[in-house]
Amino acid sequence: MTSIPRLLILALLLLAALPAGAQDKPIAIAIHGGAGTILPGQMTEETEVAYREKMTEALRAGYAILNEGGSSVDAVVAAVQVLEESPLFNAGRGAVLTSEGTAELDASIMEGEQRMAGAVAGVKQVKSPIELARRVMEASPHVMLAGEGAEFFALDQSLEMVDNDYFITDRRMEQLRRMQRAEEDDKHGTVGAVALDGSGNLAAATSTGGMSNKKFGRVGDSPIIGAGTYADNETAAVSATGHGEYFIRGVVAYDIAAMMRYADLTLSEAANAVIHERLTDMGGTGGVIAMDAGGNISMPFNTAGMYRGYIDTSGELHVAIYGD
């Protein structure tokens, strides 16, 4: 008789020691790679495949961490770093260029348990802006650092530094020249991730090169907590992409969480109301990826397309570009 309780206790102890994924607790991750005028006729089949493969790689990198019991913060950083290192997206290597032909990078991160956050703006030599934003959150008393100060902090944290040329690609340089010849409208984009870990904690991260041909040290919504990034375990984790000035004015990421908290809307109801009504009524364009504490995912956008994908609580992986 006495052996049965002991076996039960042993089984419970073994279960507690298993990674979060093995306990069948909900985990999920979603990413985006920017929103805008993304039309099938403007993209070759090879290019579309490349985008889909890179988004899949980013999702799997983040999900692997969650599945091993890692934190949502670790997961969103890992996913965003894959996108930062790809020249396909407007973040890190491959970021759009300023009017002077340089890269100026912004990023932010927030975790939903304590609502701690970190952000950087206008950095030029930090290889991974999202990792620097995380260090601001975890290793400093501040929320946002900018410019040279942020880079001094990166050196203090022993982060990898690179020449600004590392971020510049031929594609982005040619894009800048077309814009300066007034042959192309301004281009902007972002990458981001949201995740739920096995402990029930949400996190959101966003990284960008900003707006092509930007001047005067322009900073958009991506490093601004509440505008481009927000996370709160009681409501949602949100990462935004689009015309940043409108997302700042609309406090879009926080607005979604606030509508869930104060109007008792579901994640999908709140995200769609903010993107398709409030943002659109202002004249803003873009979209968000959002996730609630149950791992439910919403990814509304009011543009022709948005690079996006998820691995949901059932383990299903899906990536998309257009309205599919």
What three-state secondary structure class fits 246?
helix
Strand-strand pairing, 144-146 and 117-123: parallel
Instruction: Tell me how crowded residue 44 is: count the other CB atoms within 10 A of its CB.
Output: 8
**Residue 167, H or E segment:** none
Sign of CA dihedral 56, 57, 60, 62: negative
Tokens of 28: 């999920």
CA-CA distances (angstroms) from residue 184 to 176, 187, 261?
Answer: 9, 8, 41
Q: Which of 5, 64, 1 is nearest to 29 (CA)?
A: 64
Active site residue 2: no
Cα–Cα distance for residue pair 105/124, rounded to 1 Å? 6
Instruction: Tell me how crowded residue 66 is: count the other CB atoms within 10 A of its CB.
Output: 27
Residues 6+ apart with CB under 8 A from 43: 51, 321
Catalytic residue among 190, 206, 229, 235: 190
- The packing angle between helices 129-139 and 147-156, to 10°, is 80
Q: What does 79-142 look like in DSSP terms, one character per residue?
A: HHHHHHT-TTSSSSTT----TTS---EEEEEEETTT--EEEEEEESSBS-HHHHHHHHHHHSS-
Strand-strand pairing, 286-292 and 236-242: antiparallel
Catalytic residues: 190
